[in-house]
């Protein structure tokens, strides 16, 4: 069973989607639609940057959605037929567009509002995120609690937990990690996402999500918040809870394996998710679809 998985913030890179749009009409149409719907040039930002602007939450989110959907539509033309979709944080919106539950234009508007809401919440309650490398989930939770206003935000795979919190708490977390011999790395993000500090973003996003009438995802959608296959009537609540709840990507990969996953295909920019999958199950085949050179291999594995 092939599972398509879609990346979240952190996967952005200048040039993403440019090759696919140049060589595949279906990808070019995706970028053109995004430019028209949003009223600004997503394509120019993705193709030429600058990276400082591309990393800003309010523009990064629709840009990543666009690049991921473009890659998915190219992959489908080349023969990809996933039996399940999933995504990391923002990637859940890409997954739901891919599954036909969320129209692309509506998804663009939703993630534009989501990104703006998250950025505004982070300006009111500034914060940061840092990855702890090596400790168990329990030890990571203990370090976060000791740091103060900090919470686990991403359980990415065994030995990698991202913590989100106030600037002071993340500073303290980095000090504690150094004292305890735990490797830690700050993430290039502009807010304390997946934490109670961004709760105002959930309230701002609620009306937009409630106005969406989800179609049944085809193929089914596996949430990385709940680690369950979610029906359409649950999707609005799942995406709302996602903003302040931890992403449990490693557990979701385990759930996909239990459902019969035999190949995980990362659709969109980067290769971060494939690396996390290998930390969960080393012998599970992975594949990336983000560049023109990746497309030729789809038919053989689809």
Residues annotated as catalytic are 89, 194
Which of 189, 26, 33, 193 has the alpha carbon at shortest distance from 107? 33
Token reading at 152: 């686990």
Q: Are 223 and 230 in contact (CB under 8 A)?
A: yes
The three-class DSSP label of residue 290 is coil
Cβ 118 vs Cβ 128: under 8 Å: no
Residue owning tokens 């290769």: 271
The answer to whether the beta carbons of residues 130 and 142 sit under 8 Å apart is: no
| CA pair distance 156, 253, nearest whole angstrom | 10
- Asked whether 164 and 127 are in contact (CB, 8 A), the reply is yes
Name the nearest CA neighbour of 258 among 274, 238, 280, 242.
Answer: 280
């Amino acid at each position: 069973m092939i599972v398509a998985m879609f990346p979240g913030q952190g996967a952005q890179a200048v040039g993403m989607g440019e090759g696919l749009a140049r060589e595949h009409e279906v990808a070019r149409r995706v970028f053109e639609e995004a430019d028209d719907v949003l009223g600004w040039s997503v394509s120019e930002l993705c193709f030429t940057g600058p990276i400082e602007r591309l990393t800003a939450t309010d523009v990064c989110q629709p840009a990543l959605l666009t690049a991921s959907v473009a890659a998915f539509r190219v992959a489908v033309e080349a023969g990809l037929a996933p039996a399940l979709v999933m995504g990391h944080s923002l990637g859940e919106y890409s997954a739901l567009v891919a599954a036909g539950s969320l129209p692309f234009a509506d998804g663009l508007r939703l993630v534009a509002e989501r990104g703006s809401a998250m950025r505004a919440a982070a300006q009111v309650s500034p914060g940061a995120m840092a990855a702890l490398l090596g400790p168990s989930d329990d030890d990571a939770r203990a370090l976060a609690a000791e740091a103060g206003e900090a919470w686990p935000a991403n359980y990415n795979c065994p030995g990698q937990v991202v913590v989100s919190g106030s600037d002071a708490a993340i500073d303290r977390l980095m000090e504690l990690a150094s004292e305890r011999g735990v490797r830690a790395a700050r993430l290039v993000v502009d807010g304390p996402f997946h934490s109670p500090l961004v709760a105002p973003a959930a309230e701002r996003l609620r009306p937009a999500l409630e106005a969406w009438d989800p179609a049944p995802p085809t193929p089914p959608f596996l949430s990385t918040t709940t680690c369950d296959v979610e029906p359409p009537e649950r999707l609005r609540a799942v995406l709302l809870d996602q903003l302040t709840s931890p992403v449990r990507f490693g557990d979701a990969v385990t759930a996909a394996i239990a459902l019969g996953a035999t190949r995980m295909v990362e659709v969109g920019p980067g290769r971060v998710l494939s690396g996390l999958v290998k930390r969960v199950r080393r012998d599970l085949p992975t594949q990336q679809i983000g560049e023109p050179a990746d497309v030729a291999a789809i038919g053989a594995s689809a």
